[in-house]
Amino acid sequence: MKQRGKMRFYGHPVHPIVTHFPMALLPVSLLGDLLGVWTGASFWWSFSFYNLAIGLVMSIPALITGMIDFLAIPQKGIAERTAMSHMTVIITSIAMYTGSFFIRFGVEIPSGWRLMSSVSLSLLGLIFLLIGGWLGGQLVYRHSVGSEPMIDKSESGKS
């Protein structure tokens, strides 16, 4: 049985639309960290900080729309278990990126334990983000959560 998410905009599910921003910005912040470590240039730390900040802010609508869609999933099924895993892993990822943000708070170059902790948390956040994204894909492509069956125009009653 195919399930539609509750949150839609002109017939399209909203959750996948808003997840693209944190799914792009948060990993790019780690790239900035690595370039900052490699080059020592303060530009990359500022770049990383702002990508991290914007990615975390954009994760809020993704979390809200995801929770609304979660409520539309039938209970006690494989889709619900996959959705719970997806939600848990993504929230863990966001918590790790948030920890990285607060440890480094600011655009100046971190050093010592702050450098190691913030980069390590971002790396772990990326790993969890990738797993959570894969689980989200499982919900859509394997369990058809948030999607509708394709309508064949030849069968739609038009002659």
What's residue 145's pLDDT? 74
User: Which of 42, 40, 126 lies closest to 118 in space, CA to CA?
Assistant: 126
What's residue 122's pLDDT? 95
Among 33-42, 59-68, 104-113, 114-123, the range scoring the smallest mean pLDDT is: 104-113
Among 6-15, 52-61, 148-157, the range scoring the smallest mean pLDDT is: 148-157
Rounded distance between C-alpha atoms, residue 92 and residue 100, angstroms: 12
Question: Is the pLDDT at 9 greater than 90, yes or no?
Answer: no
What's residue 147's pLDDT? 65
What's residue 15's pLDDT? 83
The answer to whether 139 and 146 are in contact (CB under 8 A) is: yes
Rounded distance between C-alpha atoms, residue 110 and residue 4, angstroms: 45
Q: Is 138 helix (H, G, I), strand (E, B) or coil?
A: helix
pTM of the model: 0.83
Question: Is the pLDDT at 89 greater than 50, yes or no?
Answer: yes
Q: How many CA atoms lie within 13 A of 14 on its CB side?
A: 17
What's residue 111's pLDDT? 84
**Contacts (Cβ under 8 Å, ≥6 apart) of 122:** 26, 29, 30, 33, 52, 96, 97, 100
Name the band, by pLDDT with cuts 50, 70 and 90, for residue 140: confident
Name the band, by pLDDT with cuts 50, 70 and 90, for residue 43: very high
Question: Is the pLDDT at 1 greater than 50, yes or no?
Answer: no
Name the band, by pLDDT with cuts 50, 70 and 90, for residue 8: low
Burial class (CB in 10 A: 0-12, 13-18, 19+), 71: exposed
